[in-house]
Chains A and B, each alone.
Chain A
Amino acid sequence: DQQVKQNSPSLSVQEGRISILNCDYTNSMFDYFLWYKKYPAEGPTFLISISSIKDKNEDGRFTVFLNKSAKHLSLHIVPSQPGDSAVYFCAASAGGTSYGKLTFGQGTILTVHP
């Protein structure tokens, strides 16, 4: 049972344009969501997060949107740069006994062409 899904395995974007990466979840107990970026043969690095009490969080070129009713979040990268090419994972966490545990999606490979 995949509780966090990234339905697009890959995304290709031209440099300077917007990249939109999507993530859907099924567990209504999730209350905190994160995006990680991963280069091959390296560990993921934290990018941006959002709490369920918000619907938007911005950090420079990165913005995460959360639609709780649709159980959907998205990561917008504007403008996209070739250095953004990597695998992007969304992750979610619930409170209670699951405090601190993250459930990850399958990842989306983003390629930004010069």
Chain B
Amino acid sequence: DGGITQSPKYLFRKEGQNVTLSCEQNLNHDAMYWYRQDPGQGLRLIYYSQIVNDFQKGDIAEGYSVSREKKESFPLTVTSAQKNPTAFYLCASSPETGFMSYEQYFGPGTRLTVT
């Protein structure tokens, strides 16, 4: 089955530690995205990548970093510089070209709790 996997589903870290969230897709999509969701808020874009070895900052990139070494993988690192890291993190992908590229397919999400 084609889809997007995020692991783990729940993650706990101590303040001051960096943590990397995994995102893998086997949909052969070119573009991948990272969002965070906070209670009562919509999804806010952290980083996105339209092609391997290239990525751009979204609306709230501060305190985060990404890499895109393979088409299938787009890991997100939440660094100790992120002031409010506790949130629900969602990874998505979409075909880069064509009309359908607007429709993004989401993974199940990772809930990160930092104490």
- Interface residues of chain A, those whose CB is within 8 Å of chain B, are 4, 6, 9, 32, 34, 36, 41-46, 49, 89, 91, 93, 99-107
Contact = CB atoms under 8 A, between A and B. Distances in A.
B106 A102 contact: no
Given A100-B50, A100-B94, A102-B104, A44 B31 contact: no
Interface of B: 4, 6, 9, 31, 33, 35, 40-45, 48, 50, 58, 88, 90, 92, 94, 96, 101-109, 111
Contacts of B105: 46
Contacts of A103: 45
A42 B101 contact: no
Given A43-B107, A46-B103, A49-B102, A104 B42 contact: yes
A100 B102 CA distance: 5
B102 A102 contact: yes
Nearest to B4: A43
Nearest 9 A-B pairs (CB), nearest first?
A43-B106, A104-B42, A104-B43, A106-B42, A32-B102, A93-B102, A44-B106, A43-B107, A43-B108
Greatest chain B CB density within 10 A among A45, A91, A101, A107 is at A101
Interface SS, B side: strand
14 contacts: A4-B42, A41-B108, A43-B6, A43-B106, A46-B104, A49-B102, A91-B43, A100-B50, A101-B48, A101-B58, A102-B33, A104-B43, A104-B44, A106-B40
A5 B62 CA distance: 24
Contact of B31 (A9, A89, A100, A105): A100
A102 B31 CA distance: 12
A104 B4 CA distance: 20
A36 B104 CA distance: 10
Contacts of A91: 43
Contacts of A44: 43, 90, 106
Contact of A100 (B35, B101, B111): B101
